[in-house]
Structure 1
Amino acid sequence: MHIRKMYPLWLLLPVLLIYGSLYIFPTLSGFYYSVTDWNIYKESIQFVGIQQYKDLFAAGDLMNAMKHTVIYAVIVTIMQNGLGLGLALVLTSRIAGRNWFRTIFFLPCVLSTLIIGYVFSAIYQPEGILNEFLRFLGLDFMTTDWLGNADVALYSISAANIWQYSGFTMAIYIAGILMIPKELTEASIIDGSSYFKRVRHVIFPLLAPSFTINVILSLIGSLKVFDTVFALTSGGPGDATEVVNTYIFDQFSDGMYAYGTAANVCLFIVIAVISFAALSVLRKREVQL
């Protein structure tokens, strides 16, 4: 009997070892190295307490990168979920070729971010497709260097990320819509509800679990953004698109390992606090089917 009880634990052991060695141990090591003076210029590592954190907040560069990261996360989370929900509603209706459209809209999220970066770099060039299209429409006053203009560069990067991952958000919403019992929507039709009232009072409340998943995933993903920004601007022009992970990358590139690790710990704490707060709020409005 004792062996039978231990059997599931033995099956879990390899997974726990892998998880511990690849996630738990590096995470704890990161907290340790953030309170040292570890860098490429020193032969030995010394404990310095919270000095790295004091230097981070005194310099102000991290807070500037954090501001850009939060702005980026808010834009991407709102727009990605709005667009994904809109696509899901359209592609669960009786539209012809809806399965083909689902595939087309989902395809970008399986592409390499580096490829997406090259494509949008060409689109955003001063003589690129976007500006040529605006000139064709007679909107020359709207043309700009979309990645070289500090006022719009962060929004341009956000648009690229929204385009890439809205299809993934759409797929989760489609799954949620297909799980809604047909009896509920049919009853609202019999009661004479318009389509918009049906979406507002029947479909959207029952989509709360899918909404929670999508918001949390897009929020965490956008707060951790690195590859999209690095592929398009590397944090430029100047520091107009510098986000926390590109800032951390720069610190590690300069050999300031403890400093970069301290910045990474700050990002970890911010993501954890925001995610748990958002999760607790969103869970309250979920409707159990």
Structure 2
Amino acid sequence: MLHRKMYPVWFVLPALVIFALLYVFPTLSGFYYSLTDWSPYKEQIRFIGFGQYADLFKTDALYHALKNTVIYAVIVTVLQNGIGVILALFLNARIFGRNMFRSVFFLPCILSALVVGYMFSTVLHPDGILNQLLHLLGLGGLTQDWLGDPKLALYTVAAVNVWQWAGSSMALYLAGLQGISKDLLEAAVIDGTTYLQRLRYVVMPILMPVMTVSVVLGLIGSMKTFELIYATTGGGPGGATIVMNIFIFKQFGQGLYAYGTAANVILFLCIGVISLLLLKLMGRGGDEA
């Protein structure tokens, strides 16, 4: 009898071992190494406590990377979910070719961020497809150096991120919309409600748990962004698109392993705290709804 009860454990055990080896152990090791003077230029690693953190918080570069990360994450999360909801509402209706449109909008999600980044580096080049199209449409005054202008670069890359991942949010919201009872919507129609009233008082409250998941996933993904920015701007021009993971990458590239690990721990804690606060806030909003 005991042997049978252990069946689920044996099935789950390989996944737990892989998770522990590839995530739990590196994470705990990262916390330890952030408290040392780890460097390829030293023969021995010494424990120095929070010295790395004290030095990091004295540098303007860390605050600049944190600021860019937060701005980037807010833009991506808001637009990704806003566009995702609109697409889901549109493609949940009975329109011709809606399955094809769903596939088209979801397709960018399966592409590598590096592939998307290199593709848009060509599209957004000063002589690229976008500026050429604007010229053809007689909108030459709107042409920009989209990735070379420090005032535009971060917002441009954020827009590319939204283009890639809005379809993912759309899929989540579509699943939520299809779980809403048709009887409930028909009852609201009989009561004489308008479409906007049904959307506000019936659809959105039911979608709140889905929205919470989508917003938190979008926030975590955008705060951890690396490949897309690395492929498009590399953190430039002039550091305008340096986010935390680019900052960490540069520290490791300079042999400052302990600095990079400490910065990674800071990013980990920021994501954890913000995600928990967001879950609590949005969960409370869903309960009130």
Instruction: Report the TM range for the smaller structure's normalisation.
Output: over 0.9
Q: Which residue of 2 aligns with 1:106?
A: 106
CA distance in 1, matches of 2:115, 2:31: 34
**Structure 1 segments unaligned to the other structure (5+ residues):** none
The percentage of counterpart residues that share the same residue type is 55
1:138-287 equivalences under 5 Å are 138-286=138-286
Name the Cα RMSD after superposition. 1.5
CA distance in 2, matches of 1:5, 1:143: 66
Q: Which residue of 2 aligns with 1:24?
A: 24
Q: Per-residue deviation at 1:10?
A: 3.8
Secondary structure of 2:92 counterpart: coil
Question: Per-residue CA shift, 1:93-144, capped at 9, x if unaligned?
Answer: 1211101100000001001212211221111111112222222333333221
Question: Per-residue CA shift, 1:184-219, capped at 9, x if unaligned?
Answer: 111111122221221111111110111011001000
1:118-157 equivalences under 5 Å are 118-157=118-157
Q: Per-residue deviation at 1:15?
A: 2.5
CA distance in 1, matches of 2:141, 2:276: 43
CA distance in 1, matches of 2:161, 2:44: 41
Q: Per-residue deviation at 1:6?
A: 4.2
The AA in structure 2 aligned to 1:188 is: A
CA distance in 1, matches of 2:40, 2:72: 32
Mean CA deviation greater in 124-133 or 167-176? 124-133
Q: Which residue of 1 aligns with 2:95?
A: 95
Q: Per-residue deviation at 1:11?
A: 3.6
Q: Per-residue deviation at 1:5?
A: 4.3
CA distance in 2, matches of 1:279, 1:236: 33
Q: Per-residue deviation at 1:3?
A: 4.0
Q: Per-residue deviation at 1:270?
A: 0.1
Secondary structure of 1:285 counterpart: helix
TM-score when scaled to structure 1?
Answer: 0.96
CA distance in 1, matches of 2:274, 2:152: 26
C-alpha change, 1:186 and 1:287, in structure 2 (3 Å) is: farther
**Structure 2 segments unaligned to the other structure (5+ residues):** none
CA distance in 1, matches of 2:35, 2:217: 30
Q: Per-residue deviation at 1:287?
A: 6.0
CA distance in 2, matches of 1:105, 1:287: 31
CA distance in 2, matches of 1:233, 1:109: 21
Q: Per-residue deviation at 1:8?
A: 3.5
CA distance in 2, matches of 1:16, 1:130: 47
Mean CA deviation greater in 54-63 or 162-171? 54-63
Could you tell me whether the CA contact under 8 Å between 1:208 and 1:287 is conserved in 2?
no
Moved over 6 A (4+): none
Secondary structure of 1:96 counterpart: coil
Q: Per-residue deviation at 1:282?
A: 1.1
CA distance in 1, matches of 2:136, 2:197: 39
The AA in structure 1 aligned to 2:280 is: S
Mean CA deviation greater in 125-134 or 163-172? 125-134
Q: Which residue of 1 aligns with 2:84?
A: 84
